[in-house]
């Protein structure tokens, strides 16, 4: 229990006054030029309590902001994965620089080489896994579940395309 000298401290009287104006512990600490832990200790000694609603509201707002950030990231991951999967059925340009004169040569294949297809599927698979975790962790993330389903459909289609016999790659002339 505080002694009489501590109770008569002008800072303690100021604490009671600022507390009655519903200032936070941090604001009172700044006002009095002492640490927040000192304010907390003094408030406890004085039988004062601080309203935690603002802290709870700030925590809730931060959670909402983080969920929105996860949603934006999920959408970007989905878009990139879909672009990679969509590119698997399109013509693919291969090129090289070389020879004595360091000349440029290019050739267009009807579809990407198997290594490129594998990399695209790997990237899409990782995105699918990450999006699935977002949905499991935060089912309230708007649209994430449908994004995962769309990515799954793309992965299934790409896998089916890979099951077809590989196309022969023409030799450079």
pLDDT at 67 over 50: yes
Q: Which of 42-46, 56-60, 152-156 has the lowest mean pLDDT?
A: 152-156
Domain ranges of the chain: 4-51, 64-162
Task: Determine the pLDDT at residue 4.
Answer: 44
Q: Considering only CA atoms, which of 127, 118, 116 is closest in space to residue 82?
A: 127
Looking only at Cα atoms, what is the longest distance across the chain? 99
The dotted CATH code for 4-51 is 1.10.10
Structure tokens, 30: 């700044």
The pLDDT assigned to 116 comes to 92
Which pLDDT value is given to residue 108? 95
Phi/psi for 135 (5° steps) reads -65, -45
């Amino acid at each position: 229990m505080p002694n009489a000298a501590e109770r008569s401290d002008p800072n303690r009287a100021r604490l009671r006054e600022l507390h009655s104006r519903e200032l936070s512990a941090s604001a009172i600490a700044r006002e009095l030029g002492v640490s927040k832990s000192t304010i907390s200790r003094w408030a406890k000694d004085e039988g004062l309590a601080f309203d935690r609603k603002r802290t709870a509201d700030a925590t809730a707002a931060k959670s909402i902001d983080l969920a929105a950030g996860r949603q934006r990231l999920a959408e970007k991951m989905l878009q990139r994965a879909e672009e990679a999967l969509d590119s698997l059925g399109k013509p693919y340009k291969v090129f090289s620089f070389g020879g004595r004169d360091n000349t440029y040569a290019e050739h267009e294949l009807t579809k990407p080489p198997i290594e490129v297809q594998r990399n695209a599927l790997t990237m899409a698979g990782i995105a699918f896994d990450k999006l699935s975790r977002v949905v499991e962790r935060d089912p309230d993330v708007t649209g994430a579940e449908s994004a995962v389903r769309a990515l799954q459909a793309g992965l299934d289609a790409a896998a089916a395309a890979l099951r077809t016999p590989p196309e022969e790659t023409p030799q450079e002339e």
